């Protein structure tokens, strides 16, 4: 598939241009609206479809193997923390799905490490990472194996 | 041709903001409170890398808190799946830390599915846990943003800078901004390459509009390898490309289907075809076929043999499982969460798995280091467990001083997936801070001369086009330049036909490989004349150059290893059998940056974990 943009819905805001991982959504300089400049580099990841505030972007299955008449539409609602899908088959069958996208208010529970507790003296020389060993939830130290258990070149 | 030159000095430069890059950027701040940390991303960090569209499972989680698995269990698993050859120190190290990474994701708001009876994370299989991961990437991107001094989007890094006072030491990286056309110089004490592996080096099955629907993202252009290779870093196991058995055309994942939904495969006659090929496979690989679970490549092998001999199409039997409405929902959401394109293919062809068993296929080969394969840079392991040949001072540092790797970049550490790649980024970041603290990055000199030389090289494709375009009336045919897509199609044809792609059923041999190398050399020379009509095409030109140098390295490695270690990934027709006598080892290459010539050597495999338990389980 590849993405395409509906003329009457696109207002040229550029959200899709900003997000596309493949850099294929560009603003057409004549009509001042977005378009897919390289459909054969589209991964159908739907990043642009999800990002479009006007629902102006849709997907038509790749011409070389997808018969026409289908659609897979999406609405991602960050404030509600959900993503909703509607799949329409060529023969008219419809399936709907809703999934959560986050369990917490957006970004609030991600620490800013510059303000968090500093590592203890000498910890840079240990093997532990941030939040360890506590963050492993094992009430134990970080696991290790003895170097002597290495056996060179043996078939196992 | 560049508009402006923008110079930025920093302590830690993270190249690539995918799973490994966000992990590195996040962790670097914990250890390096006063360091300047910069992450550079080719796309937009909120939706970039292999996880851009989300994931429905975290494929690497030990569950040590519930005694589900220990790191040594994972080492056994990865070693078995890759036919005995992995860096067990790196695998163990990743595995012992990965749970703390996953627990952070949970705290940050990533929706983890829970088992209602046990309250634990819902297992999909022994190693996989199920998530609603549509926003996996934006969540980890947020963590990186909170740690970084600066994140640059839309800058493609093309080359590493080298220190001019001390040989074989990194000094930063350069690239260009595909929106502004500015030339960017990052002078940095350390560089962590966390870029993507390589899709689109072998001809894909779809070559029309659907060319972009490769299994691995089309924007993964092998920078993970091209950057260290060009800097003279040693690489390992680059011959170990991966072929995926997936749902046809959309390459939708099969993990949840096999493991959670308990669907299974059969040939056109409804037979379990894998059994049919047991004896034939045993002839090739000996007792490896008896290992449990059956290595991924050997299952591919049976699939390929079955379809080659007319037993196809191969179907996934879904009709039974999909009668359960819950499992049906899981089956569909699995795609919507990470491979929407498969849902589109099924909708377009009226494939409702409740009533139709969908068809499977084997993909074109990919080169990467984080899935059931382990191509990448040869890096140091951790001090406390790595044997002498595997340790040179700093965890995840390549053989170039100050140059670190994580994710697809690191060779030998297979089966790390998203969580393990993020974890490996964390490990590399801590080691990079230590490297700086121990004064290993003192007095680095990068001259204006070096920077200006790269500037001319980077923007040359724009000039090639402008000059060449004036020669002709129009169209795409020029005697003076080739376009990036023309060059890409040449690369894919060479790799496909000479290095073991789909057209030859993954078959190659010494003669075809040598021919492939000759053609690749000519392609490399012709790419001096690649023409780019705008900055977007300039990015495509550099993606192609990175893919090409990666392909040369893959071909050299494939030529060096005179055995068929992974039937089902590729076959050396002149050495069809697995050869433990001579090749139970890792392969290493180094490309001399001055001459462009590769030299090859063998490195020992250390097995650090006994396999008694595994043998008992299998019998």
- Which chain B residue's Cα is nearest to A128? B97
* Cis peptide upstream of residue B293 (ω within 30 degrees of 0): yes
Q: Residue A8 contacts by C-beta under 8 Å, 6 or more apart in sequence?
A: none
- Write the residue in A37, A62, A76 that is nearest to B213 by C-beta: A62
Q: Is A141 at the interface with chain B, CB within 8 A?
A: no
Report yes or no: B229 and B550 within 8 Å, Cβ to Cβ.
yes
- Which chain B residue's Cα is nearest to A120? B31
Is residue A79 in some structural domain? no
Is residue A40 in some structural domain? yes
Report yes or no: B394 and B406 within 8 Å, Cβ to Cβ.
no
Overall domain count for chain A:
1
Q: Is B223 at the interface with chain A, CB within 8 A?
A: no
- Write the residue in B97, B337, B347 that is nearest to A129 by C-beta: B97
Q: How confident is the model at residue A153 (pLDDT cuts 50, 70, 90)?
A: confident
Is residue A67 in some structural domain? no
Q: Is ipTM over 0.95?
A: yes
- The pLDDT, as a whole number, for residue B3 is 87
**Cβ within 8 Å, pair B212-A106:** no
Q: How confident is the model at residue B618 (pLDDT cuts 50, 70, 90)?
A: very low
**Cβ within 8 Å, pair B426-A129:** yes
Is residue A39 in some structural domain? yes
Between CA A44 and CA A58 the distance in angstroms is 10
Report yes or no: A69 and A11 within 8 Å, Cβ to Cβ.
no
- The pLDDT, as a whole number, for residue B619 is 44
Instruction: Give the β-pairing of B5-15 and B598-604.
Output: unpaired
Scan for tokens 């980077």, then name that residue. Answer: B458
Q: Is A132 at the interface with chain B, CB within 8 A?
A: yes
Q: How confident is the model at residue B1 (pLDDT cuts 50, 70, 90)?
A: low
What CATH number has the domain bearing residue A50? 3.30.70.20
Is residue A66 in some structural domain? no
pLDDT digits (tens, 9 = 90+) for B39-94: 999 999 999 999 999 999 999 999 999 999 999 999 999 999 999 999 999 999 99
Residues of B in contact with A79 (CB under 8 A): none
Q: Is A129 at the interface with chain B, CB within 8 A?
A: yes
Q: Is A19 at the interface with chain B, CB within 8 A?
A: yes
Residues of B in contact with A47 (CB under 8 A): 47, 52-53
pLDDT digits (tens, 9 = 90+) for B380-428: 999 999 999 999 999 999 999 999 999 999 999 999 999 999 999 999 9
Residues of A in contact with B382 (CB under 8 A): 127
Is residue A119 in some structural domain? no
Q: What is the mean pLDDT of chain B?
A: 96
- The pLDDT, as a whole number, for residue A152 is 83
Candidates A130, A139, A140, partner chain B, best to mutate (most B CBs within 10 A):
A130
pTM reported for the whole predicted model: 0.97
Instruction: Give the β-pairing of B5-15 and B37-40.
Output: parallel
**For residues B119-142, average pLDDT:** 97
Look at B515 and B259; give whichever has higher pLDDT: B515
Q: Is A2 at the interface with chain B, CB within 8 A?
A: yes
- Which chain A residue's Cα is nearest to B349? A67
**For residues B240-260, average pLDDT:** 95
Angle between helices B535-560 and B448-469 (to 10 degrees): 110
- Write the residue in A42, A88, A145 that is nearest to B72 by C-beta: A145
pLDDT digits (tens, 9 = 90+) for B447-499: 999 999 999 999 999 999 999 999 999 999 999 999 999 999 999 999 999 99
Q: How confident is the model at residue B611 (pLDDT cuts 50, 70, 90)?
A: low
| Domain of residue A31, residue span | 1-60
Between CA B213 and CA B407 the distance in angstroms is 22
Q: How confident is the model at residue A156 (pLDDT cuts 50, 70, 90)?
A: low
Is residue A9 in some structural domain? yes
Question: Dihedral (C-alpha) B104, B107, B108, B114: value to the nearest 10 degrees?
Answer: 100
Q: Is B439 at the interface with chain A, CB within 8 A?
A: no
Is residue A24 in some structural domain? yes
Q: Is A43 among the residues known to form the active site?
A: yes
The active-site residue, picked from A43, A62, A89, A130, is A43
- Write the residue in B52, B178, B437 that is nearest to A47 by C-beta: B52
């Amino acid at each position: 598939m590849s993405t395409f943009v509906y003329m009457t819905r696109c207002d040229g805001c550029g959200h899709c241009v900003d997000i596309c991982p493949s850099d294929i959504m560009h603003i057409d300089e004549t009509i001042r609206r977005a378009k897919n400049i390289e459909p054969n580099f589209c991964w159908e990841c739907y990043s642009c479809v999800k990002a479009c505030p006007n629902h102006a972007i849709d997907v038509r299955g790749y011409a070389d193997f997808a018969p026409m008449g289908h659609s897979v539409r999406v609405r991602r609602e960050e404030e509600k923390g959900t993503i909703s899908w509607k799949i329409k088959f060529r023969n008219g069958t419809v399936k709907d799905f809703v999934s959560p996208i986050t369990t917490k208010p957006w970004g609030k529970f991600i620490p800013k490490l510059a303000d968090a507790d500093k590592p203890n003296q000498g910890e840079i020389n240990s093997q532990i990472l941030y939040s360890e060993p506590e963050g492993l939830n094992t009430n134990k130290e970080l696991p290790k194996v003895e170097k002597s258990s290495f056996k060179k070149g043996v078939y196992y | 041709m560049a508009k402006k030159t923008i110079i930025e000095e920093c302590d830690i430069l993270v190249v690539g903001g995918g799973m490994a890059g966000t992990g590195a950027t996040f962790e670097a701040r914990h250890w390096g409170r006063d360091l300047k940390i910069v992450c550079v991303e080719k796309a937009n960090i909120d939706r970039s890398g292999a996880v851009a569209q989300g994931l429905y499972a975290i494929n690497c989680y030990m569950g040590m808190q519930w005694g589900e698995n220990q790191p040594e269990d994972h080492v056994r698993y990865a070693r078995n799946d890759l036919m005995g050859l992995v860096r067990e120190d790196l695998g163990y190290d990743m595995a012992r830390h990965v749970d703390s990474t996953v627990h952070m994701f949970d705290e940050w708001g990533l929706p983890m599915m829970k088992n209602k009876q046990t309250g634990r994370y819902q297992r999909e299989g022994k190693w996989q846990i199920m998530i609603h991961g549509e926003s996996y990437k934006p969540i980890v991107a947020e963590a990186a943003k909170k740690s970084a001094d600066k994140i640059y989007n839309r800058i493609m890094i093309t080359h590493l800078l080298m220190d001019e006072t001390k040989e074989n030491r990194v000094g930063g990286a350069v690239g260009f901004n595909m929106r502004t056309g500015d030339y960017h110089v990052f002078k940095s004490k350390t560089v962590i390459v966390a870029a993507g592996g390589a899709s689109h080096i072998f001809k894909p099955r779809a070559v029309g509009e659907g060319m972009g629907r490769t299994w691995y993202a089309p924007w993964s252009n092998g920078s993970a390898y091209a950057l260290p290779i060009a800097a003279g870093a040693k690489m390992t196991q680059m011959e170990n490309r991966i072929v995926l058995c997936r749902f046809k055309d959309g390459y939708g994942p099969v993990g949840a289907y096999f493991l959670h939904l308990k669907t299974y495969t059969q040939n056109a006659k409804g037979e379990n075809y894998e059994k049919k090929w047991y004896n034939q496979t045993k002839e090739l690989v000996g007792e490896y076929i008896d290992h449990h679970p059956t290595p991924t490549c050997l299952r591919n092998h049976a699939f390929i043999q079955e379809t080659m001999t007319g037993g196809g199409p191969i179907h996934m039997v879904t009709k039974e499982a999909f009668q359960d409405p819950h499992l049906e929902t899981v089956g569909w959401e699995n795609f919507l969460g990470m491979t929407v394109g498969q849902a589109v293919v099924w909708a377009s062809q009226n494939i409702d798995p409740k009533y139709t068993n969908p068809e499977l296929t084997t993909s074109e080969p990919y080169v990467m280091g984080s899935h059931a394969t382990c191509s990448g840079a040869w890096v140091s392991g951790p001090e406390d467990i790595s044997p002498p040949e595997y340790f040179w001072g700093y965890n995840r540092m390549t053989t170039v001083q100050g140059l670190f790797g994580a994710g697809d970049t690191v060779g030998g550490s297979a089966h790390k997936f998203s969580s393990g790649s993020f974890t490996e980024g964390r490990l590399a970041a801590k080691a990079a801070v230590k490297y700086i603290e121990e004064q290993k990055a003192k007095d680095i000199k990068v001259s204006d001369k070096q920077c200006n030389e790269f500037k001319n090289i980077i923007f040359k494709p724009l000039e090639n086009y402008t000059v060449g375009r004036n020669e002709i009336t129009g169209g795409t045919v020029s005697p003076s330049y080739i376009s990036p897509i023309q060059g890409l199609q040449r690369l894919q044809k060479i790799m496909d036909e000479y290095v073991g792609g789909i057209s030859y059923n993954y078959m190659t041999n010494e003669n075809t490989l040598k021919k492939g190398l000759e053609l690749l050399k000519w392609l490399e020379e012709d790419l001096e004349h690649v023409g780019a009509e705008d900055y977007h095409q300039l990015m495509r030109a550099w993606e192609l150059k990175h893919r090409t140098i990666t392909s040369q390295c893959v071909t050299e490695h494939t030529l060096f290893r005179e055995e068929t270690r992974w039937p089902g990934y590729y076959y050396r027709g002149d050495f069809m059998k697995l050869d433990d006598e001579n090749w139970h080892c890792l392969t290493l290459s180094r490309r001399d940056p001055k001459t462009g010539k590769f030299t090859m050597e063998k490195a020992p495999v250390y097995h650090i974990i006994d396999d008694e338990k595994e043998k008992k389980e299998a019998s």
